Amino acid sequence: MIRAFLALPLPDTLIHRLTVLQHGLRLTDPVPRENLHLTLVFLGEQREPDLEDLHIALDNRRLEAPELQLTGLDVFGGQMPRNLHATFALTPGLKALQAKVTQLARHSNIAIKARKFVPHVTLARFAEGEASAPELAARIQQQGAVQSDPYLIPEMVMFRSILRASGPVYDPLASYPLLP
């Protein structure tokens, strides 16, 4: 079994911007720069033949490159924050790409949980009780407006996720060029 996901890698200029934000937010355990990406669909633990079927389906499609536009900072978990992330605009191109790859995964015998797609890049994860919602809100407020011009993303990647005590390691399994 392989734990995998489909994601958009980020351009170096955006990664730099996000790492500056991580530093400015004074995060004790930020997500490493090499792990910054925007997940389109989490595939979970899958059999290799099912991932191969999905790979063939993706390799035979010409999907359009979406634009990514940074829109702010937010948390998942409300008063018990478990994740601090950068938010991105849900553009028509991004929404269409996410829907298409989800559909292709399902046609490849991969069960995808139905959930609302919220485009984001995780900047930090927190254990239960590790982060204070009011303190994070104050730090986010101090950052002021967090926005960017749109970036056209030219590829999508299928990653293997290996969970380790020191944090996850993401290995690219395949890359798919996206049409401008």
Contact status, residue 83 vs residue 103, Cβ threshold 8 Å: no
Contact status, residue 85 vs residue 121, Cβ threshold 8 Å: yes
Which of 23, 55, 107, 120 is the catalytic position?
Answer: 120
Query: Tell me, what's the pLDDT at 130?
Result: 87
Query: Tell me, what's the pLDDT at 74?
Result: 95
Query: Tell me, what's the pLDDT at 129?
Result: 83
In tens, the pLDDT along 64-100 reads 999 999 999 999 999 999 999 999 999 999 999 999 9
In tens, the pLDDT along 121-132 reads 999 999 888 888
Going 58 to 59 to 61 to 63, the CA torsion angle's sign is positive
Query: Tell me, what's the pLDDT at 179?
Result: 95
Active site residue 37: yes
In terms of phi and psi (left: phi > 0; alpha: psi -120 to 50; beta: otherwise), the region of 72 is: left
The β-bridge partners of 41 are: 6
Which of 23, 37, 55, 85 is the catalytic position?
Answer: 37
CA atoms of 117 and 95, how far apart (whole Å): 8
Q: Name every residue whose Cβ is closer than 8 Å to that of residue 178 and which is 6 or more positions away in sequence.
A: 63, 64, 65, 66, 97, 153, 154, 155, 156
What's the CATH number where 37 sits? 3.90.1140.10
Query: Tell me, what's the pLDDT at 28?
Result: 83
Residue 81: give the domain boundaries: 2-177
pTM for the complete prediction?
0.94
Query: Tell me, what's the pLDDT at 124?
Result: 96
Domain count, the chain: 1
How would you write the pLDDT of the chain (180 residues) with one tens digit per residue? 999 999 999 999 999 999 999 999 998 889 999 999 999 999 999 999 999 999 999 999 999 999 999 999 999 999 999 999 999 999 999 999 999 999 999 999 999 988 899 999 999 999 888 888 999 999 999 888 899 999 999 999 999 999 998 889 999 999 999 999
